[in-house]
Structure 1
Amino acid sequence: MTLRLSSMRKGIRRLAAVDVGTNTVRMLVVSETEEGFRPVIRMRRITGMGKALRETGAIGAPEFAASLDALRDFRKELDRLGVVEYRACGTAALRESSNREEFLAEAARAGIPVGIITAREESRLTWEGISGGGGTGDGTLLMDIGGGSTELIAGPGKRDFVSLPIGVVLLSASFPLSEPPRSWELSNLGHFLAERIEAGTDLWKRRRFRRMVGTAGTFTTLAALERRMRIYRPERIDGVRMTLAKVRRWEKRLAGMTEAARLALPGMEKGRERYIVFGVCQAVAAMERFRIEDLTISDAGLLEGILRGLCGRKGRG
């Protein structure tokens, strides 16, 4: 999926961020401005890098190849646009896979060296990408549901984040669902998520949050579904708000459908129909855990955080 967001004028310094994720490989190219940066092009490829991770401990051959193909296409765009500096980050799948060194070597040969970041660094960059390096307001909990891990982020401090190995790709391997899912399967999944989130955030039991900000594919898909978007538009995703009751209604509706029926919904990107139920169940479990009634969805996140770091320093990539 490619979105060209602005005209491409000569003489403008361009930067890029690449996220090699467990389910999706993404790139955002921007032009540097006095105010920060202006998006030029977004590219996204669902490659399912972590699909075989739970079973084999490694990136599967088809997903390995698909992810490298995505990086090769990204490299062509970087050259075409004259990008002067970029940073490519690998997250949960590359942190955990036994063949990560082989992938990193092939990525470098493809022209995009990838650095694996820790869960802590991923959380910090996501926070900065959404908050702009400032605050998001007291009582805000950020939730980033990925393919391999889920991050809950309450601030930029060392004790303000929790990373849980409950990403949607890993969950799909541990909790296979029927078509459509059966009630007992959903019940088991819900109980597991509630227990893992509660145990993982035990040190936060006295914290109170007024709202949740959700980023990454589960949440942006929810916003696209809510707005019945045939063509994905980031500017129409940012700021979409949902109550807990609305999220629960989507959970019930999506869980009552087959993957084919989900894919037919306006706003459902091909490749997400398999994982969306796992993600929405997580969102509900987290909102219930912290008694949050208000969700705001953000299209920004890790990529924007990477770019803010690049804008803050000089040099060439």
Structure 2
Amino acid sequence: MLTIEKYAAIDIGSNAIRLLVANVIEQENSPTLFRKNELIRVPIRLGEDVFTKGAISEKNTQRMLDAMQAFRLLMNAHQVKYYRACATSAMREAINGDAVVKMVKEKTSIEIEIIDGKEEAAIIAATDLHSIIQKSRVYLYVDVGGGSTECTLYDQGKVKTSRSFKIGTVRILNHLVTESAWKRMLRWITDETSSYSKITVIGSGGNINKIMKMSGRKSSKSLSYIHLLNFHEKLNNLSYDDRVIKLGLNPDRADVIIPALQIYLRTMKWSGAEQIIVPSIGLSDGIIKSLYKSK
């Protein structure tokens, strides 16, 4: 007996809003399969409003409403059975975040949950990493977003501890990450990883996925610290225009990719990791998995 249902995840981040539609396939006496059907990304960059002015602007509120109306129509067309919409750093810090959530529900009937950093890290931890994580090794899972970075330590194949930091690509671009914020992350990583002789970083987020794709290596393969360091230097030596024209980066990716690299490089250096694995999963995947488990 084969059962196929469509699930959807809406990830309202600080840099972009995403809709992931996935087929959830159940078979008798076999593991449930999760297969991506469609992924739509809209680079609204809510964080640029919130982190500099404290609120989402009227312009971006309308753009968000337009995106949500489109997502509702797409979910209807796909005949999605279950969905979950989660808003992260920008929405939880916006003084008009609750008002925007109410407006979206009235206009589109989509209910948005504004989740805290702990819940965000828990959802990300729900992603299926069993094919990557080995019980004999220790991993630091680093998910870099526009407004925050979630770090989760895995030991013996299980989550040992996790923490969210207000360090993200959009914040860095707008010079809103203080030295004390970096020091808090440094202290947490060194305190949690210093007792281990070897750490491997697992990286997630749109930027590290793009870097992996540009490297020509397959997903779930690893990149070395030296590779990231050299790539960071290469990007720094190119202007924004050259990153768009010569490297073919999207305009909304060409600026945030450099601060993303800074975060990954620092977490690798502080944990002593020489390699970063990129499995091409993120919050949207975690939303689908956690939604399925709840049903």
Question: TM-score range with shorter-chain normalisation?
Answer: 0.7 to 0.9
Contact 1:221 1:267 in 2 (8 A): no
Q: 1:203 to 1:159 in 2, by over 3 A?
A: farther
Identify the range of structure 1 (56-65 vs 117-126) with the bigger mean alpha-carbon deviation. Answer: 56-65
Q: 1:60 to 1:207 in 2, by over 3 A?
A: farther
Q: CA separation in 2, counterparts of 1:153 and 1:285? A: 15
Q: 1:145 to 1:31 in 2, by over 3 A?
A: same
The one-letter amino acid paired with 2:239 is T
Q: CA separation in 2, counterparts of 1:64 and 1:226? A: 36
Q: 2:199 aligns with which of 200, 207, 210?
A: 210
Contact 2:212 2:218 in 1 (8 A): yes
2:7 aligns to what? 15
1:15-94 alignment to 2 at 5 Å? Answer: 15-34=7-26, 35-94=32-91
Q: 1:253 to 1:47 in 2, by over 3 A?
A: same
1:292 aligns to what? 273
Instruction: Report how many aligned residue pairs link the two structures.
Output: 283
Partner SS for 1:212: strand
Q: CA separation in 2, counterparts of 1:131 and 1:157? A: 10
Structure 1: gaps (5+ residues): 1-10, 176-188, 228-235
Q: CA separation in 1, counterparts of 2:254 and 2:128? A: 26
Q: 1:123 aligns with which of 118, 121, 134?
A: 121
Partner SS for 1:51: helix
The one-letter amino acid paired with 2:16 is T
Contact 1:219 1:297 in 2 (8 A): yes
Contact 1:220 1:237 in 2 (8 A): no
Q: CA separation in 1, counterparts of 2:286 and 2:218? A: 18
Q: 1:102 to 1:190 in 2, by over 3 A?
A: closer
Query: Is 1:271 aligned to 2:252, yes or no?
Result: yes
Q: Displacement of 1:84 after TM fit?
A: 1.1
2:170 aligns to what? 169
Partner SS for 1:272: helix
2:141 aligns to what? 142
Partner SS for 2:252: coil
The one-letter amino acid paired with 1:241 is S
Partner SS for 1:298: coil
Q: CA separation in 1, counterparts of 2:254 and 2:242? A: 9
Partner SS for 2:47: coil
Q: CA separation in 1, counterparts of 2:290 and 2:16? A: 22
Per the normalisation by structure 1, the TM-score is 0.81
Q: Displacement of 1:135 after TM fit?
A: 5.2
Q: CA separation in 1, counterparts of 2:239 and 2:204? A: 25
Q: 1:52 to 1:237 in 2, by over 3 A?
A: farther
Contact 1:147 1:167 in 2 (8 A): yes
Structure 2: gaps (5+ residues): 27-31
Partner SS for 1:154: strand
Q: CA separation in 1, counterparts of 2:65 and 2:195? A: 42
Partner SS for 1:242: strand
Q: 2:215 aligns with which of 210, 223, 226?
A: 226
Query: Is 1:245 aligned to 2:246, yes or no?
Result: no
Partner SS for 2:22: strand
1:5 aligns to what? none
1:95-106 alignment to 2 at 5 Å? Answer: 95-106=92-103
Identity, % of aligned positions? 23
Contact 1:194 1:289 in 2 (8 A): no
Identify the range of structure 1 (286-295 vs 262-271) with the bigger mean alpha-carbon deviation. Answer: 262-271
